[in-house]
Structure 1
Amino acid sequence: MLDTAEPARPPGRRWWVAPLRVTAAVLRRSVAIVVLLSAWELLPRWGVVDRVFLPPFSEVIKEWWAMVGSGEIWAHTEASLKRASAGFTLAIAIALPLGLLIGWFRGLAEFLNPLLELFRNTAALALLPVFVLILGLGEASKIGIVTYSCVWPILLNTVSGVRNVDPLLIKSARSMGLSSPRLFQKVILPAAVPTVFTGIRLAGAYAILVLIAAELVGAKAGLGYLINYAQSNFAIPEMYAGIITISVIGIGINQLLLAVERHFSRWRVIPEA
């Protein structure tokens, strides 16, 4: 007679351990945010801070939800995301191939390095008036300043990633008879991916930060315009609603780029953000 009983679980193993660890990790990461939001809610109500200038979090969320319902927050978010994504995409298209070339060809690096050092040490916002003068107050100047600010982290991290590939990997590949193009494709590029994506993630954050500042000048829509307009009209809950929206977008962009990095770096373990 066959024994149909379920086999006993190995001693020392419990099915609920893994879910419990995940829950504990989520709770640990949430503690600081819960403390911050609790302080934001309670301190204005207790009179520790003036609620005129810092309304309780619940009032801000109520205003944010009303703006979502009216479509106002979506219109400003769409305008900002279009500008940021256009500048970010242009920066990748410019900086990634240029960084690969500079990292691979030493002569090109020596030729361009003085010029790159000059421009990378010039703050993007310091050049905002120049972009406005040349490109006008329209979309071109805002996309241009975002592109400029995003180029540098991508470019510098790409150059660093190519130059700092483990020499043992290169020697091993050359000993196997790989030509320079195949070496670049099979060894240099995969090894440089983590450093390159670090630059891309930094650029994603810069795209939003610089754009918000640029939208304070001559914009008629966008989250930066919304925050400035609300502050000028003393609509404080609306101002904080715009700030919260920017924070959520920044987190979302970072998580999206992390997912893309994991896709292109499946051969290595990517730590959770």
Structure 2
Amino acid sequence: MADQKLLPGDVHWYDLPDEAADAPDDAANLPGGAADVPEERPRRRLPGRWLRRAATNSTAILLLLAAWEALPRLGVLDPVFVPPLSEDLVAWYDLLVTGRLPEHLGASVARSLAGFGLAIVLAIPLGLLIGWYRPVADFLTPLLELFRNTSAVALLPVFTLILGIGETTKVTFALYACAWPILLNTISGVKTVEPLLIKSARSMGLGPAGLFQKVILPAAVPTIFTGVRLAGAHSILVLLFAEMVGAKAGLGYLILDTQSSFRIPDMYAGIITISALGVLFNLLLVGVERRFSTWRTT
């Protein structure tokens, strides 16, 4: 059978790209051939996908809250000691309206931020120094190993005996507890920088100061922020113990006072506030970490 003579505008499947070859036959018969087939636009992410993901991530929390409400009402848990969630939220609202909750919350946040901020200012430079200079690391490592394995809560009586029961003790206690995650992660971040990066920077003529500024510090930022996030959680949790000793305000004092006076819903209101504060603080630190780590590839 003789080959058919191709006319201008005739297109065969083997002359087309893979995507056009898979297109329906009627698309190739459009005026001008397959070249007139409109390109497929990139699909936009639908809001429903984001909503489904948010619903999946919050399922466990919703189940916990539902159990908190249902189990005391069904008699599975004693409602005297574990009131339903709705009663705890009513107590939380009453504390908010009367002004007691903002007073205690403000005192705790001020102490936590003071200790947390001082820990960042002191621990990050010290960690960079220990991680970068071997003689400093050899001198301080035995002392660090001694204190890192000593619980901060166990040292609270020592802080109280030395500094008294005032604000200095609470801020210093938060500082001590927050410093260790930041310090240890900073040291680890500096020591685990890829050696090839350091060799490449030195081969390009970077001196010690430029090498530290342009290679070591940026590479250690993610690990440092991991320590900062851990310290953020520590700043709230350990402060509760300090506020239970000689304090007149603070969430820790609120929880201890309501427990001793058997105002159980108010006690749970304080616990809910601490949990919400910890979550918000962590989200804030995650946002700051993303802001300072935009150079990383995802």
Amino acid in structure 1 at the alignment position of 2:204: M
Gaps of 5+ in 1: 1-7
Residue equivalent to 2:57: 29
Tell me by how many angstroms 1:93 deviates: 1.1
| TM-score in terms of structure 1 length | 0.93
Could you report, residue by residue, the CA deviation over 1:101-121 in whole angstroms, capped at 9, with x for unpaired residues? 000001100011111111111
Match for residue 108 of structure 1 among 121, 136, 147: 136
Measured after TM superposition, the shift of residue 168 of structure 1 is 1.1
Structure 1 residues 9 and 85: CA distance shift in structure 2, 3 A: farther
Q: Deviation above 2 Å: which 4+ runs of structure 1?
A: 8-15
* Residue in 1 that maps onto 2:118: 90
- Indicate the SS of the match to 2:58: helix
Q: CA deviation at 1:259?
A: 0.8
Distance 1:231 1:118, change over 3 A: same
Aligned to 2:258: 230
Deviation at 1:269, TM superposition (A): 5.1
Distance change >3 Å, CA 228–CA 170, structure 1 → 2: same
Residue 164 (str. 1) matches residue 192 (str. 2): yes
2:242 equivalent to 1:221: no
**Structure 1 residues 9 and 39, CA, compared in 2 at 3 Å: closer, same or farther?**
farther
**In 2, distance between residues paired with 1:69 and 1:181?**
55
Matches of 1:25 and 1:106, distance apart in 2? 47
Cross-structure match for 1:203 = 231
| Separation of aligned partners in 2, 1:164 and 1:40 | 44
Matched, 1:117 2:154: no
Percent identity between matched residues is 61
Q: Cα distance, 1:18 vs. partner?
A: 3.3
How far has the Cα of 1:244 moved from its partner?
0.3
CA distance in 1, matches of 2:39, 2:233: 47
* Structure 2 partner of 1:135: 163
Q: Secondary structure at the match of 2:80?
A: coil
Q: Which runs of 5+ in 2 are unaligned?
A: 1-36
Call closer, same or farther: CA 1:57–1:180 in 2, change over 3 Å. same
Q: CA deviation at 1:94?
A: 1.1
**Would you say 1:73 and 2:92 are equivalent positions?**
no
Which residue of 2 is the match for residue 43 of structure 1? 71
Q: Deviations over 1:67-89 (max 9, x none)?
A: 11111110000000111111111
Aligned-residue Cα RMSD (Å) equals 1.4
Counterpart CA distance in 1 for 2:170 and 2:259 is: 21
1:59 lines up with 2:87 in the alignment: yes
Q: Deviations over 1:23-74 (max 9, x none)?
A: 1110011100110000000001111111000110011011101111111110
